[in-house]
Structure 1
């Protein structure tokens, strides 16, 4: 019985370490991107999602679990649910980070339940390229000539593709549920 309890406790500790490593690895990936480096230096906080799974055939959805940070320290957990409608087929996995520009944006995001409507924009970062579309206009860059992403309403959203194949022209909304530590 004692061995079984020790084994369970050890497994639980290892799972927490693996989860913490996933967050740190994802944060480091975003820190290496020239498009996000300034955001880490100037944001009040951020929410990081190591893996979000997404799929759809006409009607789509996505889900991921993450952690919210302020001052470089975790302040709580968050999950993201997305529903989309439009021309879409396939599935993919990606990492996402949402920078919170100031205390007002942080408080709005961590109030318990927060939603991005169809007007939210995201910058997709892959192999030195970036593209942006949203209410602030569109832009794309390759190599060293990166487009400058900006906050929209106090938020800046970036994604890193992890894998999969998905064709999509849809409208989506994301809902975030925050729980303080």
Structure 2
């Protein structure tokens, strides 16, 4: 009889504790997501401010942009290339943020690794909405990056988009055809 009572008591404790465990797990996950959003936003703000401080052209495009996105990325290449990162798209007028992911892959001649930030400025609401909701870009690319820092930049908007790539760290030499996909971060929005 005692063993049945002990078993039922243990079962009751587990049944009562399970919802609390789930609640605290959700709170912990929510806290981590808040930390991730804060980190992404900080990196984006620092990259954007650095770019605007260093480039009058970027300043001019930023003033005329409806919105922008900043991604913190990495890329590796050894014949084939791949990489990815996270970022945030910001509607300047509303101040709203959409957290996003980026993935890239390609084939061609390439060797090395690179960490960089990508700043994307959207000229119009339509370009911004298209980027946030569809976010697809495919391009041919040739780069050579070495050492600590470098910037490659757009001089104007093309199809409503201007791109700035800020090389942070790494050594990379490549000439490849790269496909890049941007999409909303399901867990952070």
Both proteins in one fold, TM over 0.5 = yes
User: Corresponding residue for 1:135?
Assistant: none
User: Corresponding residue for 1:91?
Assistant: 113
- Flag the 1:168–1:106 CA change in 2: closer, same or farther, 3 A: same
User: Corresponding residue for 2:99?
Assistant: 77
Deviation of 1:86 after TM superposition, in Å, equals 0.6
Deviation of 1:19 after TM superposition, in Å, equals 3.8
Worse-matched range after superposition: 25-34 or 151-160: 25-34
CA distance in 2, matches of 1:149, 1:127: 23
> Helix, strand or coil: the match of 1:110?
helix
Deviation of 1:21 after TM superposition, in Å, equals 2.2
TM-score (norm 2): 0.70
Contact 1:30 1:36 (8 Å CA) reproduced? yes
Give the number of the structure whose residues are more often strand, by fraction.
Answer: 1
State which structure, 1 or 2, has the greater radius of gyration over its C-alpha atoms.
2
Alignment of 1:17-96 (within 5 A): 17-34=38-55, 35-49=57-71, 51-71=72-92, 73-96=95-118
Deviation of 1:179 after TM superposition, in Å, equals 4.9
- Number of residue equivalences: 159
User: Corresponding residue for 1:174?
Assistant: 180
TM-score (norm 1): 0.73
- Flag the 1:114–1:149 CA change in 2: closer, same or farther, 3 A: same
> Helix, strand or coil: the match of 1:32?
helix
CA distance in 2, matches of 1:164, 1:25: 19
Contact 1:56 1:88 (8 Å CA) reproduced? yes
Deviation of 1:104 after TM superposition, in Å, equals 1.4
Give the number of the structure whose residues are more often helix, by fraction.
Answer: 2
**Relative contact order (C-alpha < 8 Å, sep 6+): which is higher?**
1
User: Corresponding residue for 2:125?
Assistant: 103
User: Corresponding residue for 1:140?
Assistant: none
Unaligned 5+ residue runs, structure 2?
Answer: 1-23
- Flag the 1:37–1:128 CA change in 2: closer, same or farther, 3 A: farther
CA distance in 2, matches of 1:62, 1:81: 6
User: Corresponding residue for 2:166?
Assistant: 160
